[in-house]
Amino acid sequence: MNEVYDFLDDIPESLKKEFFETIIENKNIKIERIVSYGQTTPNDFWYDQNEDEFVFIIEGEAIVLYNDKSKYHLTKGKSLYIKAHQKHKVIYTANPTIWLAVFIH
């Protein structure tokens, strides 16, 4: 990877699946770009991750639901810090939504 990375460059056209691209990964963190095209988490599934996650909306919008029914409507420029083992799911994404996701091990 170059030292300069443009999160808005080379955005894939509308896809049937979300697009995931790892920018940097080491034993402590993983930084990725995610591009969503209206995808959501399946109704019967909750993410329950071993690492903390910080998400930031670069373009678009999304709604994240916690299992305690808390909802977070994220729009361009907004972020959310999700602690390890906080069960959550994405219930809405605009078409497209560009995320910066940082996983902290």
pLDDT in tens, 59-79: 999 999 999 999 999 999 999
- Region 50-55: what's the mean pLDDT? 98
Both structure tokens of 18: 């979300």
Measuring CA to CA, how many Å separate 84 from each of 3, 10, 52, 81, 104?
29, 31, 4, 10, 9
Other CB atoms closer than 10 Å to residue 78's CB: what's the count?
13
For the chain, state the CA radius of gyration.
Answer: 13
Superfamily of domain 19-104: Jelly Rolls (2.60.120.10)
Rounded CA gap, 75 and 70, in Å? Answer: 16
pLDDT, tens digit, 9 for 90 and up, residues 74-95: 999 999 999 999 999 999 999 9
